[in-house]
Amino acid sequence: MNKSNHLPIVDARQDPRFLKALRTLEEAVQAERFGQIEEADRLYAKVVKKNPDYFDALHLYGAFKYCRGEYRAASDLLKRATTIHPRSVPALNNFGIVLCHLKRPADALGAFERALSLDPRDAITLNNRGNALMDLNRADAALASFDAAIKLQPNFSNAYINRGRALLKLERFEEALTNYDQALSFAPSNAELHNSRGAVLYELRRTEDALTSLNRALMLDPNLAAAYCNRGSALRDLTRHKEAFADFEKALALKPDFAGAWCGLGSLFNTHRRYDAAYEAYSKALALDPNQERAAAPRIHAKMQLCDWSNLEVDFATTLSSLRNGKCVGDPFSLLGIPASAGDHFECARLFTKSSVDRNAIRTAARYDHERIRIAYISSDFRSHAVGYLIAGAIEAHDRSRFEINAVSLVSAPNDTMQTRLRAAFERFIDAQELTDRQIVETIRNLEIDILVDLNGFTQNSRALVIAQRPSPIQVSYLGYAGTMGFDYADYIVADRIVLPPEHAQFYSEKVAWLPDSYMASDNKRFLPSSTPTRLDCGLPEDAFVFCCFNQAFKITPEVFSVWMHLLKATNGSVLWLSAVSPAAEANLRREAQQGDVEPERLIFAKQIAQADAHLARQKQADLFLDTLPYNAHTTANEALWVGVPVLTRMGDAFQGRVAASLLKAAGLPEMVTTSIEAYQALALEVANNPERLFLLKQKLEHNRFRTALFDTKPFTGHLEQAYLAMYERYQAGLKPDHIVVAQ
C-alpha cells in the first residue's frame, strides 16, 4: 500500500575549473549535515549562481532541493547537471526519482533507461526503473526489473518492498507474502518490510494477522506514516473506529499530503454521518492524487448529503467516466445516488468486490440433511431500523414445520423494542457484534446453515467479508441493498419484475429469484395510527396543501428539487415537508428555494422523533408524498402507503430507482407511477389542485391496505419460502444456481 522513499545518490568529482567554488560548496554540504538548512540553501544558491556550469554544485543542490520536497526546483537543477555530464549514472538516477515525484513516470523511465545503458548492472537503477514502470501501470515489466535488482543485490530490502507492490498489483498475493517473509529473514528490523507484509495480509483479508505486522512496523519506526494508514484501514474494517481515527490522524500529522490517509479519514467521517468533514477529507485526497481509488463516489455522496449541488453534473460525469474506463470509484452504495445505469452499478460493484474478496475462501460444499431447512438471516439491522421494521412480520410468519429460522445479529441493541421482538421471533438469535469475521464464519458453518440470507449488502455495519468466505452452501442477497454484489458473494438476489426486469439480469452477478408481487417484505402488524397529532403539533400550517418527502438528503437532486419548487409556486399556500437534515443541508435547501423564487419558510423540516410510531402517526398530516430519482423512497414509501398517504414516483433505470413503482403497483395504485419528469410534474399538479382526486386516492389506499399484496405478510412470506425451497432443491440435486420464478 505504500511506496518506499528513494534516497538521492550523489557522486563527488573535482573539476579544476571550479576549485575556487569548491570551498563554498563544501561549506554548503557541511551546513546541510548539521541541519542549518537556510544557510545551506544560501550557499548552494551562491555557488550555482556564480558557476552555472558546475556539475557537482548543480547535482548536490538538486539533491538538497529533493530532500526538501521542492521537486520542480530539483528537476531544473538535475536536468542541467545531466546535460553537463550525460554519463553520470547517479545524476540520471536522481533526475528520474524527481520526475517520478512530479508525476512524469514516462520521462523518469527515460532517465533510468539512459542510466542502465551506461551501467546495466546497477541494482539501484533497476529498482528505480521498476518504480517508474509501476507508475505507468506496467506491473509485469516492473516485476522483472525488481527481480533483476535482487539478483544483483540479494539483500536489497527496498527492491523486495517494491517487488511486493508489483505482486500485489498483479494479484499474486501469496507470492507477495512469501516475498516479504524472505526479505524479513535477512532484515528482521526493517519497519517498511513489516508494514508491507501487513498490507499484503490486509489484502488477503487476514486482518488480525495484518495488525500484528503493522504493530511491529510501528514499534520499529513510530514515525512510519504508511503503517498508521494501513493499520487505520484494518481497524476500520474491525469497526474499531476510535482507534482507526487516531491512526489516520497520526498518519496525516506525519505526512499531511498523504492522500490515502485522507481517503481513510473520509470513510470514517461518512460512517459517522459527519458529511462536511467527509467531503473535505475526500476532496483533499483527490486534490493530492486524482487517481485515488474509492474516493470519487463517496465524496459525491457526502456532498449530496449536504445538498451542495455546485458543479454536481461535472462530478457525476467525471466519476462515471472513470468507472467506465475500469477504475474503482468507491463503494457501490455511494454510487446509488448518482444517475447511472444498471450496467454502471454492476461495474462499480464488480470492481469494488474484486479488491475485497477473500481469495482464500472455500465455498462450503456440504449438502446437509436436516429435517427442516436451516435458514440464517445476517444483518446489522435487527433493531429499530428500516430493515427491522420491514422484515419482522415475515420472520414471525415463517412456516416452522419446514424451516428453522436463525439470526446472526451484527449490532447488539438489547434495550431496543424491535430487537426484543425479533429475538423472540427467531429460533436462535446470535449476538455477533463482538465476534471477528472468522468467528462468525465458523459459527455459521458449525450450525450447518443451508441458506444464508444477507440483509445488508453494501450498507453500513455490514460484514461483506463474512459473506465472501462462503460459510453457507446457498447464499442470498435480499432487501437491505438495492443492487448487485458484483461477485459470487451471493448465489441469488430476491427481486420482482419491476425492480429487476429480466432484461437487466445480465447486470447482476446473482441469479434472480422473482417474487410475483413486490419483492419488499412488509409487516401488517406494525403500528397503525388511530389518531393523528395536529398540524400545529407538526409545525405545519392548518389549511396548506402539504407535499412531503421523508427521504435522506442525498436522494434530493437539483432536477427533482426544481420540480418541487415549481409545484409550490403553482399550488397556492402549499408547503414542502421534509425530513430533518444537517444544518448545512437545510441552509443549502433554503437558499436553493429562494433562488427559485420560493419563500424559504415554505420548506418545513420535521423534527427528529426517536419513536417510529410517532413518526408514522404524524405522516397522516401529509397530502402527497413526492418521490426522488435516481434513488427512490424505499421504506419511507412503504410507510407512507401504510398510513394512507399517496406516493407519486418516477420510475428510473436501475433497481434503486424502481422500488416505489413496485410498491405502488402492489398497493393497487399503478396510476401514481410516471416515467418522465414532465408526467411527474403534471400529475403532482393535478392531484394538488383537485381535492376530489386526492380524496379518492386516499380512500383507495385505505380500502386496499389489507386487500392487496403489499401488506399481506403471510402470503408474501409463503412466496419467499417457495424461492428458498427452489434454491435448496437445486443445490441438493447438484444443480448450479439458476433464475427462479415464483408463481402467484
What is the rounded CA–CA span in Å between residue 37 and residue 731? 71
What is the rounded CA–CA span in Å between residue 720 and residue 521? 9
DSSP 212-223: HHHHHHHHH-TT
DSSP 121-188: T-HHHHHHHHHHHHHTT-HHHHHHHHHHHHHHSTT-HHHHHHHHHHHHHTT-HHHHHHHHHHHHHH-T
Tell me the sheet residues that pair with 548: 577, 625
Backbone angles phi, psi at 547, to 5 degrees: -80, 145
State the average pLDDT over residues 390-419: 97
Backbone angles phi, psi at 52, to 5 degrees: -65, -10
Distances (CA, A) of 639 to 107, 298, 620, 642, 647: 60, 28, 10, 5, 10
The grid coordinates listed for 306 are 449536504
Nearest to 451 by CA among 654, 740, 200: 740
Residues of the chain with CATH 3.40.50.2000: 546-711
Q: What is the pLDDT of residue 6?
A: 42
Nearest to 453 by CA among 351, 521, 359, 357: 521
Residue appearing with cell numbers 513489516: 194
Q: What is the chain's mean pLDDT, rounded?
A: 94
Backbone angles phi, psi at 539, to 5 degrees: 80, 20
Q: What is the pLDDT of residue 242?
A: 97
What is the rounded CA–CA span in Å between residue 312 and residue 318? 10
What CATH number labels 260-354? 1.25.40.10
What is the rounded CA–CA span in Å between residue 266 and residue 286? 11
Nearest to 67 by CA among 29, 124, 24: 29
Q: Are 527 and 616 in contact (CB under 8 A)?
A: yes
The grid coordinates listed for 298 are 463517496
Q: What is the pLDDT of residue 19?
A: 76
State the average pLDDT over residues 542-555: 97
What is the rounded CA–CA span in Å between residue 17 and residue 24? 14
pLDDT value at 334 more than 70:
yes
**What percentage of the chain carries pLDDT values higher than 90?**
89
The grid coordinates listed for 439 are 468467528
Pairing of the two strands 546-549 and 673-674: unpaired
What is the rounded CA–CA span in Å between residue 39 and residue 515? 77
Categorize the per-residue pLDDT at 530 as very low, low, confident or very high, splitting at 50, 70 and 90.
Answer: confident
Residues of the chain with CATH 3.40.50.11380: 373-515
What is the rounded CA–CA span in Å between residue 176 and residue 57? 41
- Give me the architecture of the 373-515 domain, per CATH: 3-Layer(aba) Sandwich (3.40)
Q: Are 719 and 700 in contact (CB under 8 A)?
A: no
Residue appearing with cell numbers 526503473: 129
What is the rounded CA–CA span in Å between residue 494 and residue 451? 13
Q: E strands within 245-352?
A: none
Judging by beta carbons within 10 Å of its beta carbon (0-12, 13-18, 19+), is residue 176 exposed, middle or buried? buried
What is the rounded CA–CA span in Å between residue 227 and residue 217? 7
Q: What is the pLDDT of residues 679-726, one digit of tens each?
A: 999 999 999 999 999 999 999 999 999 999 999 999 999 999 999 999
pTM of the model: 0.88
Q: What is the pLDDT of residue 270?
A: 95
State the average pLDDT over residues 627-636: 98
- Helix boundaries (H) for 187-256: 191-203, 207-220, 225-237, 241-254
> CB 249: neighbour CB atoms within 10 A?
16
What is the rounded CA–CA span in Å between residue 491 and residue 397? 24
Q: What is the pLDDT of residues 504-522, one digit of tens each?
A: 999 999 999 999 999 999 9
What is the rounded CA–CA span in Å between residue 312 and residue 136? 30
State the average pLDDT over residues 157-184: 94
Distances (CA, A) of 613 to 529, 550, 563: 8, 15, 30
Following CA atoms 703, 708, 713, 719 in sequence, which dihedral angle do they give, to the nearest 10 degrees?
Answer: 180
Residues of the chain with CATH 1.25.40.10: 16-170, 260-354
* Candidate from 109-113, 303-307, 388-392, 526-530 with smallest mean pLDDT: 526-530
SS3 114: helix
The grid coordinates listed for 365 are 460444499
Q: What is the pLDDT of residue 15?
A: 65
Distances (CA, A) of 7 to 144, 159, 347: 22, 13, 40
Tell me the sheet residues that pair with 624: 547
Find how far residue 553's CA is from the centre of its chain.
18
Which residues touch 95 (CB under 8 Å, ≥6 apart)?
A: 62, 75, 78, 79, 81, 82, 111
pLDDT value at 355 more than 80:
no
What CATH number labels 546-711? 3.40.50.2000
Q: Are 411 and 380 in contact (CB under 8 A)?
A: yes
N-to-C CA span, the chain: 52
Q: What is the pLDDT of residues 102-140, one digit of tens each?
A: 999 999 999 999 999 999 999 999 999 999 999 999 999
H/E stretch holding 584 reads helix 583-595
What is the rounded CA–CA span in Å between residue 376 and residue 52? 76
Categorize the per-residue pLDDT at 493 as very low, low, confident or very high, splitting at 50, 70 and 90.
Answer: very high
pLDDT value at 17 more than 80:
no
What type of residue sits at position 397?
A
State the average pLDDT over residues 17-45: 90
456-476 burial code (b ≥16 CB/10 A, e <16): bbbbeebbbbbbbbbbbbbbb
Q: What string of H, E and C letters represents the secondary structure of 350-390? A: HHHHHCCCCCCCCCCCCCCCCCCEEEEEEECCCCCCHHHHH
Q: Are 339 and 630 in contact (CB under 8 A)?
A: yes
What is the rounded CA–CA span in Å between residue 288 and residue 159? 26
Q: What is the pLDDT of residues 651-678, one digit of tens each?
A: 999 999 999 999 999 999 999 999 999 9
Residue appearing with cell numbers 561549506: 27
What CATH number labels 16-170? 1.25.40.10
Q: What string of H, E and C letters represents the secondary structure of 274-301? A: CHHHHHHHHHHHHHHCCCCCCCHHHHHH
Nearest to 550 by CA among 480, 611, 628, 617: 628
